[in-house]
Structures are given as structure tokens and as C-alpha cells.
């Protein structure tokens, strides 16, 4: 199904609903928007799907780079069900997918059932959206949630540790935090190791290779006159960026900010549902 399908489920209404209701709206293609602020208390995850011949190297990449790539779930080869994170069909349970061929984006879809292959392995990686509820409840307002926008994400010069064909710079997400609440944001996010944990950088964007905060590589620009300190968290688009730089013949990822919403409690010691 093409990404242009009408969105019929309302974001504001879904914010009050259970994870089961949210995922049903996504599976039925009634909601195709960004997922920040949905399914409070549940772990959200990034997605990468690639052929089994590259799966071991990709898993090594995640293990060597746990900050941007906190691995929380892996399917069996050819099985589209993510059993360890809930009753999830990885082919339909994200609002939007990006399809890449030879490192180039060729399609954005709301369902990838017709593309699924018997040699595919799907990887779920924790997402910083998970700790945003805790920041909000602590009184730290997040502009992109208030405006129903996508958090800005940037390529950086912070290098990852290579594994096979996978490597390159870390991607970060940025939130403007009031100066007197930065330490609170650090302490709160550090409680979520499966969701990237504490920030990787605070302050000067140029120090990590970001030339212009108003021009993110993914997501929406921050407010033009936003106040506060820019705080940067490792981002789950990092493995997507690594997959693209590897120029695999074929792979599928989530569309940035359109995450997999899992059944896992955000405070789980281990992300895997027993």
C-alpha cells in the first residue's frame, strides 16, 4: 500500500489509547504518522530488515555500537513475527517503511507484505521516543510533541565502530531543553538504556559536525526562535545510515520517526517479553 493512503486515526485521540489500539490503527493503515507520544509507558523501536547473508555483520555492528544501536529484538530468518516484543507482524505494524535498493531510497510504503522474503531477518533497536513521556511528566516540554512534528535528526562526525560493510558516522536526535533542566534531562534519559540512555553531546552543534540546526538530515526543523540548550541523543537512524552506506542490494527500514510500538514496559530490565 502506498504511503499516500489517507490517515483516518487522529494523533491526539490515539495518545490516550492503549498499545493494542495504537498498533491496530497502524496495522489497518488508519494511522500513518509519527509515533512520538503514543502508547505511553511502552518501548518504541527502530527497524532494519535485511537478507540473512548480512545479518551477522549487522548484529556485530549493533553490539559494537550499543549507544546508537540498542538491540532489543531479532526475528528468526524468514519469520515476519517479532515474538519477543509482543504479537507483532513486522510487515504491517509500523506506520511507514522505507525501501532501499543499492543504497538509494526507492519506495515509502505502509505495508511490506508483498516484499517479504524467506531469507529476511528483522532487527528492532530501541528508540529515544520511549523516554520522552518521562521528560514531559517531569515538566520538560518537547516542542515536536506539542506541535505533532518529527524530532530533528542529524548526521555527525562521531564515528561508529565498523563491522563488515557497516560503519560511518553516528546520527543524533536533538531536543531543545531549558538550561536549568539539562541535568534533569540527562538523569531521566539515563534510566532508559534500551532507548539510547543519556545524551552523547550537549551544546555546540558544530563540535560534532552539524553545520546548521535549522537544516536537519531527517525530521522537521526546530522552532526558528527556540529557546534553551540543544541536547543530542544517539539515534536509531544510525544503523539505517550504516545500511545505506553499505549499499546493500535490498533492505527495508522504518521511515524515520515512524516507529515500531512494542508491548515491552519502558522500565524493563531486559527488553524481551517472556
Using one digit for the tens of pLDDT, what is the confidence trace for 140-183?
988 888 887 888 999 999 999 999 999 999 999 999 999 999 99
Asked whether the beta carbons of 116 and 91 are under 8 A apart, the reply is: yes
60-64, 86-90, 120-124, 265-269: which has the minimum mean pLDDT? 265-269
Residue-level pLDDT at 149: 83
Return the exposure string of 249-265: e unless at least 16 CB atoms fall within 10 Å of the residue's CB, then b: eebbbbbbbbbbbbbbe
Q: Give the domain ranges of the chain.
A: 11-128+250-265, 131-237
4-8, 55-59, 115-119, 246-250: which has the minimum mean pLDDT? 4-8
The mean pLDDT of 102-119, rounded to a whole number, is 94
Using one digit for the tens of pLDDT, what is the confidence trace for 178-214?
999 999 999 999 998 888 999 999 999 999 999 999 9
Mean pLDDT of the chain: 89
End-to-end CA distance of the chain: 33
Give the CATH H-level superfamily of domain 131-237.
PSTPO5379-like domain (3.30.2040.10)
| Architecture of the domain defined by 11-128+250-265 | 3-Layer(aba) Sandwich (3.40)
Residue-level pLDDT at 130: 78
Using one digit for the tens of pLDDT, what is the confidence trace for 10-52?
888 888 899 999 999 999 989 999 888 888 888 889 999 999 9
- pTM of the predicted model as reported, rounded to 2 decimal places: 0.85
Amino acid at each position: 500500500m502506498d504511503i499516500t493512503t489517507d490517515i483516518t486515526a487522529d494523533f491526539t485521540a490515539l495518545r490516550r489509547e492503549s498499545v493494542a489500539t495504537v498498533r491496530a490503527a497502524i496495522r489497518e493503515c488508519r494511522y500513518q504518522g509519527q509515533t512520538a507520544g503514543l502508547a505511553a509507558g511502552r518501548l518504541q523501536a527502530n527497524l532494519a530488515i535485511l537478507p540473512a547473508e548480512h545479518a551477522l555483520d549487522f548484529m556485530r555492528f549493533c553490539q559494537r555500537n550499543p549507544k546508537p544501536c540498542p538491540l532489543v529484538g531479532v526475528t528468526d530468518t524468514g519469520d515476519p513475527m517479532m515474538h519477543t516484543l509482543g504479537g507483532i507482524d513486522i510487515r504491517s505494524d509500523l506506520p511507514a517503511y522505507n525501501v532501499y535498493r543499492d543504497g538509494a531510497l526507492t519506495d515509502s510504503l505502509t505495508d511490506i507484505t508483498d516484499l517479504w522474503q524467506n531469507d529476511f531477518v528483522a532487527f528492532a533497536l530501541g528508540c529515544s521516543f520511549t523516554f520522552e513521556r518521562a521528560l514531559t511528566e517531569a515538566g520538560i516540554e518537547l516542542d515536536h510533541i506539542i506541535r505533532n512534528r518529527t524530532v530533528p535528526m542529524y548526521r555527525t562526525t562521531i564515528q561508529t565502530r565498523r563491522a563488515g560493510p557497516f560503519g560511518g558516522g553516528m546520527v543524533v536526535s536533538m531536543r531543545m531543553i531549558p538550561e536549568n533542566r539539562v541535568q534533569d534531562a540527562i538523569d531521566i534519559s539515563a534510566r532508559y538504556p534500551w532507548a539510547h540512555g543519556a545524551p552523547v553531546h550537549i551544546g555546540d552543534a558544530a563540535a560534532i559536525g552539524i553545520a546548521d540546526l535549522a537544516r536537519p538530515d531527517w525530521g522537521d526543523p526546530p522552532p526558528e526562535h527556540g529557546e534553551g540548550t540543544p541536547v543530542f541523543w544517539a539515534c536509531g537512524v544510525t544503523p539505517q545510515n550504516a545500511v545505506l552506506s553499505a549499499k546493500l542490494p535490498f533492505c527495508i527500514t522504518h521511515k524515520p520517526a515512524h516507529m515500531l510500538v512494542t508491548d515491552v514496559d519502558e522500565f524493563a530490565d531486559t527488553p524481551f517479553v517472556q
